[in-house]
Structure formats: C-alpha cells, structure tokens
Structure 1
Amino acid sequence: MAEPAPAAAGASDPTKEPSKNALKKAQKEKEKAEKKAAAKARELAERQKKEAADAEDVSKDSYGELPLTGSKDFKVTGTKREDLSQIADFEDKEITFRAWVENARVQSAKLAFLNLRQGLNTVQAVVAASEKLSKQMVKFSGNVSTESTVAVTGLVKRVKEPIKSATIKDFEIHIQKLFVESKAEVPLPLQVEDAERPIPSEGLGEDDSKQEESDGRPLVGLNTRLNNRTIDLRAKINHAIFIIKGGVCALFQEFLSQKGFILMQTPKILGSASEGGASVFEVKYFDRPACLAQSPQFYKQMLIASRFQKVMEIGPVFRAENSNTARHLTEFTGLDLEMEFQEHYYEVVGVLEELMLFIFTELNKRYKKETDLVRSVYHVDEFKLPEAGKVPRIPFSEGIQMLRDAGEDLNDYDDLSTPQEKKLGRLVLEKYGSDFYTLDQFPLAVRPAYTMPSPHDPKYSNSYDMFMRGQEICSGAQRIHDAELLSKQMREHDPPIDPNGAGTKDYVDSFRYGCPPHGGGGFGLERIVQFWLGLPNIRMASLFPRDPVRVTP
C-alpha cells in the first residue's frame, strides 16, 4: 500500500488549536451580532411600547394637526364657532372657537398653559391630564408653535383671581379638544409681542431696533416692522389703529350722508398734471403719458357745476413730493367734500367743523377701547375738544401775532413751518382749551390758483386750514366759480398755469355755463388717525405705507 503524500508546506493542521488573533476576531463578531440583536430588540420594544401607549391614549382623537382646509382629506363638521367677546354668556358651558396661539408652555407632564387670541381678546387656556385627557395631549398642546391657528373646544370656567396675562380676566378655558388648523413656522422674522411695544424714538433709522426699554426688552425699529408688515400687523395695537381708521371713514360718511352729501368716485388716472405742480407721478398709459391724481379737486368742482349740490369722496391721493418726514406719505387716503353755499363760505367752514366734532365725539364713544389701548403704549394727553359751535376760528394774522408774541420772527404773509404750526397749536390750547381749531384767511400767495381772494384784502384769501394738536389735517377754501376770474388768477399764479392747457381747459370751461358759489376741503385720513392717537409716525396709520423710499411690501 502506498505511503500518504507529505503535507504541503504551510498547510494548516486541523489538529492544531486556532491562533489568538482568530479567537479575538471571532469574539468581536459575536459581540457585534449580540449588540445588533439587542438594539433590534430595544427598537421593537420601544415600538411596541409606543403602540401600546397610543392604544391607551384616551385623547388620541381630541388633538393633532388637521388636514388643509378645503383639501380632499378635510371633513366639514358644521360645529358652531363662538366669539370670545361673548365668553361671559357661556360660563360652565362647552364652546368651540378659532384662535391663534400667543404662547404655549408645558408646566409639567400633566399640565400645560396657552394664551389664545381672537381679535383684540386674549384668554388663558389650561390643558390638564386626567382619566379623560392624556399626557400626550398635554405635551402636544404645550408645544404648539407661537402664532399657529387652532380650533379649540373647552369649558368656560370662572377664576377666583383675575388673570393678568389676558384681556379676559375673569374666565379661562379648560381645553377638551385642540387641533392645529395652520401651523406657524419658527422662528418668526419678528415677534408679535415686540410689535406691541413703542417704536424707538428715531422711528425711521435702520439701526433703531438696537434700542431697549428700561426692562431690557428690544424696541424693534419701524423699518424692521414695515419689512415684515404682515407679522407686525398682527399686534393688537395695530388692529386697534385700523379699526379706528375704518371708524373715521364710517363716521365721515354717516355725518355727511345725513347732511345730503352724495358719495362719488373721481378718476385717479389723468391725461396731464391738473394743478400746475411738478409733484405728480407719471405713468405710461398705453401709447401715451398720463399721471396719477394729486387730488379730486377739479372733479369735485366740476360736479358742483353739474348741479350736484353736495359731494364727498374717500379715495387715494398721490403726491410725488420727496418728503421724508413723520407726517408725509406719497400715497394717502383723502376724505374730500365739496358743497355749494348760499351767501358766505363760512357755511362750508361750519359744516367741516361740525363734521370733525362729530367724528371726535363718536370716536370717544364707539372706539374708546381701541383708543385707550393705543394711547396706553404711546402716552399722549387726552384730546381736548371745544364745545359744539365754539371751535376756535382764528384769523391767520392773529395766529402770526400770537407767534410773534411768543418769540417767533415772522412776516405778515409768511407760510408757517411745521415747528411754528406745532407751537401755535400749544398757544391755542393754552388760550382756548382746544386741540382742534381753524386758521382762516390765509395769504393768497401760498394757496392754489383756484382760491377766491379775500374781499377785505386782496393779499389774503377765503381759505382755511384745520389743525389737530397743532398739525394740519385739512386744507380748504372758497373756490373761484367764474371762468374769467379763474383764468386770470391761474395766469398770475407763481408758477403760472395755462387755463387752456390739456389738464385745465375742461375744468375752466365748466364754469362758463353757470356755477353756484361753492367751497370744500380735503382731509388726510392717516393724519387724523395719527394725531388722534398720538402716533409718532404717519406710516403706522397706513397698512402698507408708500414714501419716497418704500414701495414694498
């Protein structure tokens, strides 16, 4: 029998024990496999635990994020939504309402608090774990992002101590259901609570957001706010401002409608500049140039010539003036009226004064809550009103003398600067006890060419301005209603205006066919709101303000 062949050099001996390196490698592989198996086991256990917890979540159908309203997954419930302003009517009752989250915080695993807002009302809401409300719901509710829109169902409960952090002091909501209708992304570009505080003293600078209040909280600058206006406008103070602004318009129409005025809408696109000034915005109108209206003045008067005895308008006014001040805008809202009078232009002045006293009085009555809210931030003295029929009506010459007596250097026919107007306002308040007054008989040279010269002195005119807190809100006059006199005054005006020009001929010609004596005035809506509330900048009274540097958003 043949001998077995010798083993090849280097071949392993099956009878020989494994090397130490091989044993270590095998041990590592074993440990790695055991760790992987343990991790899978833990993952499975966690998943089973979560599934078990979800199965035990008694509130799983009472909270969460809703599908997009109107989407294919959204289901209409038809549940009535309540208004928080009527919350006292629902004591110890269940209500459902929409609100948005001012803040939410988890107090503990079993308790969360939310501040919810609806309009100008805020209410404290409580989410407390119980046999019927899960810890998972508490955690979800306390972590809803600020400014998210939510649908809430809860019990209205009276509290023992007034709640300081909400406008609704005597009641809170014990939440039973909370669904997020629209989730707010975080972080916000601007905190709404910062927009509730006053703007820095400068107001127009880009770096003014670095200022702080005495408590160390930031004062966010006006530019930052306007650049993020949709967030800024959410502030309760801003809602109050624009509720009041809408109220002024409503009161304007209410009063004048009762006086027989007809609401009109005049053109805002004109074929050429109508009032002779260079401060117009030019636009391309198909294949020819046009411009935006500086005022409805010519059309108001043409309507009087058309036998409409009293007309009013609320509409946009465009002024291409490079005025970067706290009381100028390049687009603002004009409250305009024009009326024929019987014998004297004071008939018109009387209507204007009565109109403003009505607006002021009704703002105090109907919009006191909103007025007080804004004035609590911008601390301003109460607006002093004269008695009905006793509005100070001061001749321009008397106003000049009052300023001279107070140390101002003025000529008889000088127009007043803004500081001089404010100073005169303080002097009038001191002498007459009124923040509202009329300055009458202005120098003719500082008024428009269609202004009727004064019969007492041809250097003066039958014109007037009205003031709030020493700042102009209205400019008005008796208008020239004779075509020949109007043409003469236009040619002699500085700068001269051609009565036969493209933007003026139709206007001048309208007086050739018989027109009654008439007058009127134009108010700046934003100025009325600004001075009534004591706002430091007119841009705060404009939703999306336009000035020489701002055309967005």
Structure 2
Amino acid sequence: MTEPSASGDPQGPSKNALKKAAKEKEKAEKKAAAKARELAERQKKEADDANDVSADCYGELPMVGSPEFKPSNLPRVNLADIVELADKEIVFRCWVENARVQSAKLAFLNLRQGLNTIQAVVAASEKLSKQMVKFAGNISTESTLVVHGLVKKTQEAVKSATIKDYEIHITKLFIEAKAEVPLPMQIEDAERPLPSEGLGNEDEKAAGDEGRPLVGLNTRLNNRTLDLRAKINHCIFVIKSGVCELFQEFLRGKGFVMIQTPKLQGAASEGGSNVFEVKYFDRPAFLAQSPQWYKQMLVASRFPRVMEIGPVFRAENSNTARHLTEFTGLDLEMEFQENYHEVMGLLEDLMLFIFKELNVRYKKETELVRSAYHVEDFKLPESGKVPRIPFVEGIKMLREAGEELGDYDDLTTPQEKHLGRLVLEKYGSDFYVLDQFPLAIRPFYTMPSPANPLLSNSYDMFMRGQEILSGAQRIHDAELLRKAIRNYDPPLDPDSPAFKDYVDGFRFGCPPHGGGGFGLERIVQFWLGLPNIRMCSLFPRDPQRIMP
C-alpha cells in the first residue's frame, strides 16, 4: 500500500511544490545565462581592448606634476590662429562645451579655448577605434582636454561654433582635468541675460525664451568659478582691464605719475561715518574710503599730476544694482593754472578717449555683451562738445519734466536717470557733466563758488544718466580748510588727530588743484548697459555678500 505524501496526497508532490521547483529552476537558468553573457561581454571587451588600435590615443592623463606624468614636449597652438593652421596636425588645450555620440562610429565635440569655439569630429576607421569614439562622446562637460588633430576646412558653416569654416578631425584625445557631474549650473545659462534687475533669486523659476529656467544672480555668484567661464563674463573683464589700460595710457601721455596710497588709515578719511573699522594690533584702524587726502598731499609735495587705480571701501548699506562696498577707484588729481574747468576739460577728454578706443580695440567684446542685453550703442559727443550743464539748469529741466525738487536738493537715482534721458533727447549724448553742485551736499574740502556761496566748484560725470565720477576744485589754503572743517555739518575739529596731518600739508604752500574719482565697475556697467554692477566685479562685495 502506497504511503501518503507529506501533503496528504497519495499520488506524489503537490502542484504548489512543482510550481516552486519550476520557478527555482527557471531562476537558476536565468542566472546562469546572465553570468554567461557577462563572461562573454567581458571576454569580448578584453579581446576588443587587446585589439584596440587607438588604445594609446585616448584616456585620462596622469596629473601634471605627478611622478607618473611624462611631458610630450609638443608645441601647443592657439585656435585664434586657425586659418594659418589649415591642413596641419596640431596640439592644443581646450575644454568641452558639449560632447555627443552620433553613432557607434561617430562622435562630435564642441571645444572651447578662450572666446573661440570649434567643432571636433571623432570618426572610427582602420586607425581609430569605436572604443575611442565612445570615450569621446561621453566626456563630461567642462572637462579640460589635450587634443591632437588635423585642421580641415568645412563644406558648410558650423552654426554651433564661433569658428565656422574649420573643424578638427581628432587623432588623439586626453582628459587632463575631469569635471565632476552634475554641474551646479550650466555654463550656457550664464551666457543668457539675468532674469531681472533684482539682486536675489526671486526669478529663478521663471522660464526664458527657450523654455529653460532662468538662473538668478545669487546662484551665479555662489558658483562664480563656473559662472566666470561664460564668454559674456570673459568679455566683461577683458573690457574692464581695457578701461584701466586706456586710463593709464591717456594720463601718462599728459604727464601723470602713477601712485599707490595707503588703504589702512589711522582715522576715518573725509570725516565720514561710512567706514569699515578693523583691528590694527592694539588700536583701531579704518579701510580707506578714497585716496583723496593723499592725492592732495602729493600735489602739495610738488607732484603736479598724479593718478591711482586701487580698491575703495564704503560701509554703506546700499543694496542697489549700482553699489558695492568694495570697488575699484580710478583717481586723479592735478594742479591747474586759473580755472578748475581746466581739470574738467581733461577729464572729459580722458573719457572720450576711453569710449572711442573701447569702440575700436574692444569692439568684438562690447558687441557680444550688448547683444545679450539688447543695449543700444553709447551715444558720444565730439571733443569739446560734452554737455556741461549747471546744476541749477538740471533742476530746471527736471521741474519742466514734472519732477518736484528744491533748488539745492541732491538728486535721487530715479531723478538722475530721468535727467539722463532729457539730456540724451536734447543733446544726443549719453555722457555729460553736471557743474556747480550745492556746497551743502559736497565734502568739506570742496572750494565754494565765487558766484554763489551756496554753490561749489564741483562736478559729477554721468553715463546713461548715472553717476560715474565725483570731482571738484579742492580748498588749497590751510586756514580756509580749517574754517570749512569747523563749519561742516556736523562740525569737526581740524586740530584732531584725524585731520591734523592733512591740514598741515597745506601750511607750506600748495597750488590750486582739482581732480576726481571714477568708479571702474560703474564705467563698465553703463558702457555695456548691464543691469547689475555685481556682474562687473570678479568676486563682488556688498552688504549681504563677503564670500566667495
């Protein structure tokens, strides 16, 4: 008699047990098949690697400077010279803007060097493997490469690159510095305009013309190393460097001497409260608000014309699109013969020289930046025809246009911009001067006007309706200066340690002199028509930002 099964079924195993056994068998077969495929793929890869004709022509280089690194000593070229390199084998460093695999045998890369971009082709052949094609098409964006290739003229213009008539047929390709992925922001987003004139990220989620989210200023500044890689930012700082170069070139030709004045001071300069206090060993010190006093002391020291480019610190809690707490000052001071307008005339000619040379020497960079922001060309007057508008006339123009303000009120930023539009309409110039400001709104060392004691021999210069320079004839007589300090609002003590050395500099005779200080970042901002001055500072400082 047959014994019953454990399930109680005298006929054998249950259906559930059979199903379970079948599943386990199927699972084991699949696992074995997967291992077999993995082994076959590994063996194929090993075989392919062994037969990779390009094995030594691509990959990651050892770190430059490490014991493993072996220099090639091959000369490197600049892509700016590409026309002269047609049909030649070249080697160059670049980085990847884009890499894509078109097929198993073809990959394209967009490579950048400086402001130049070029298309590169990696095509499989008897001398170039499919493995190299795959490697090239999967290189992470922003990685730094060393490329060997043949320069070939294209049959059609390459729309995605600045170099449109040539491309690189790559023969060797090495990663010199690999970029980590994902990037915190895309470089192409930094090429696009800011979402608004706002300072924060309130517009981060707004969509641009292409449907991509707009990246706000804070995100860009928080990732400044990446942000500065954008071509538009390179152009901004090439132009900024150019303004400094032109400033020195013009003034050196007029007999000016470059100076360097202290930025650490034992007393608050100009008697102002908007200064940064720092600890200087066992006593307080202050960061310089300007080189003003030192410029004047040097004129008194028989340096008739001096200029300086240096940092300026202002502890002003101004969170606007045109204020920084640290900016670069372009300063000059000079003696004049009989009228402070001699100084104004030189300043006007200086700026016209800078503007005209920017249009010539930095035309490409200027046009690239302005094209992103759709800014009109900067309207220039002729030499000797810069609009010089007395302050009282500027007040009159604004009143006639509907503004309400008193005869001696300082202008607000909106009123300055309004006046700029009126001047452009009347005189056809984006650059102009306001002269004879009210004495009460100028520094204590400003010379009063002989025509009206409520006015002063002082002036501001404007670009697109916004101030770029404040200047004046300075008081050069020690007793008049002491009186001005005492009568200042609030009154100050000319015999205090803060003022004594400065005032004493005029006791031994000083010629009449004047000058001014430009804000470099403002010149660049308004020349290019940029919405925010922080774009013109490599690592901007404002009341909310002191990093990176």
TM-score (norm 1): 0.93
Inter-partner Cα distance in structure 2 for 1:447 and 1:156? 62
Residue matched to 2:526: 531
Listed as ranges, the matches of 1:298-337 within 5 Å are 298-337=293-332
1:243 matched to 2:232? The reply is no
1:458 matched to 2:453? The reply is yes
AA of the residue aligned to 2:434: L
Inter-partner Cα distance in structure 2 for 1:237 and 1:119? 11
2:370 is aligned, of 361, 368, 375, to: 375
The answer to whether the 8 Å contact 1:202/1:208 transfers is no
1:164 matched to 2:159? The reply is yes
Residue matched to 2:72: 77
Residue matched to 2:201: 206
AA of the residue aligned to 2:320: T
1:132 matched to 2:134? The reply is no
CA apart distance, 1:228:
0.8
Inter-partner Cα distance in structure 1 for 2:395 and 2:198? 31
1:469 matched to 2:469? The reply is no
Residue matched to 2:5: none
CA apart distance, 1:94:
1.1
1:61 matched to 2:52? The reply is no
1:285 matched to 2:280? The reply is yes
1:432 is aligned, of 427, 430, 443, to: 427
Inter-partner Cα distance in structure 1 for 2:493 and 2:415? 34
1:481 is aligned, of 476, 480, 493, to: 476
1:110 matched to 2:105? The reply is yes
Gaps of 5+ in 2: 1-11
1:386 matched to 2:381? The reply is yes
Note the alpha carbon deviations across 1:24-60, whole angstroms, 9 max, x for none.
Answer: 9999999999988877665554333222211211111
CA apart distance, 1:478:
0.4
Aligned length: 534
The answer to whether the 8 Å contact 1:197/1:377 transfers is yes
Corresponding residue SS for 1:487: helix
Residue matched to 2:438: 443
1:346 matched to 2:347? The reply is no
Distance 1:327 1:45, change over 3 A: same
TM-score (norm 2): 0.94
Corresponding residue SS for 1:275: helix
Per mean C-alpha deviation after superposition, the further-off stretch among 399-408 and 518-527 is 399-408
AA of the residue aligned to 2:89: E
CA apart distance, 1:390:
1.0
Corresponding residue SS for 1:315: strand
The answer to whether the 8 Å contact 1:149/1:183 transfers is yes
The answer to whether the 8 Å contact 1:100/1:149 transfers is yes
CA apart distance, 1:401:
1.0
Distance 1:515 1:110, change over 3 A: same
AA of the residue aligned to 1:266: T
Corresponding residue SS for 2:270: coil
Note the alpha carbon deviations across 1:328-365, whole angstroms, 9 max, x for none.
Answer: 00000000000111111111111100100000000000
Q: Which has the larger radius of gyration?
A: 1
AA of the residue aligned to 1:306: S
AA of the residue aligned to 1:208: D
Residue matched to 2:503: 508
1:359 matched to 2:354? The reply is yes
Gaps of 5+ in 1: 1-18
Corresponding residue SS for 2:321: coil
Corresponding residue SS for 1:210: coil
Distance 1:34 1:257, change over 3 A: same
Residue matched to 1:89: 84
Residue matched to 1:547: 542
Per mean C-alpha deviation after superposition, the further-off stretch among 175-184 and 214-223 is 214-223
CA apart distance, 1:203:
2.7
Aligned-residue CA RMSD (Å) = 2.0
Inter-partner Cα distance in structure 1 for 2:21 and 2:319? 81
1:422 is aligned, of 410, 417, 422, to: 417
